[in-house]
Amino acid sequence: MTRSNENGSRLDRIETLMLELATASVRHDNEFSRINATLERVTQQQEANNQAIAQNQQAIAQLTADQQLSRQDINTLTASIQELRNMVADYIQSRSETQ
């Protein structure tokens, strides 16, 4: 009966180890599932960030182009004002000379 008890005890230990192994395997699988889900969320967020960056770069490029056009318009307007001032000064001077 000792031998039978010994075998039973070994089987119990083996069953216990198998149960622990199965439990550890399930925990491992669950942890990897959580990690994969987290990585997927991070990847999606990175893609969204990359799209936002691309949109911001386009907006910056458009604003830069608009700013350059505005500077040109300001330069043109400044030149026109200077030309008008010269014309008025010339007119005033010619009126002064005729009087």
Q: What is the mean pLDDT of each successive set of 10 residues along the chain, which is 99 residues long?
A: 72 94 97 98 98 98 96 96 96 85
pTM of this prediction? 0.58
End-to-end CA distance of the chain: 144
The Cα 38–Cα 84 span in angstroms is: 67
Structure confidence at residue 57 (pLDDT): 98
**The predicted structure's pLDDT at residue 98:** 76
Return the pLDDT at 3. Answer: 65
Q: Which residues contact 38 (CB under 8 A, 6 or more apart)?
A: none
The pLDDT value recorded for residue 5 is 74
Rg from Cα positions in the chain: 42
- The pLDDT value given to residue 4: 67
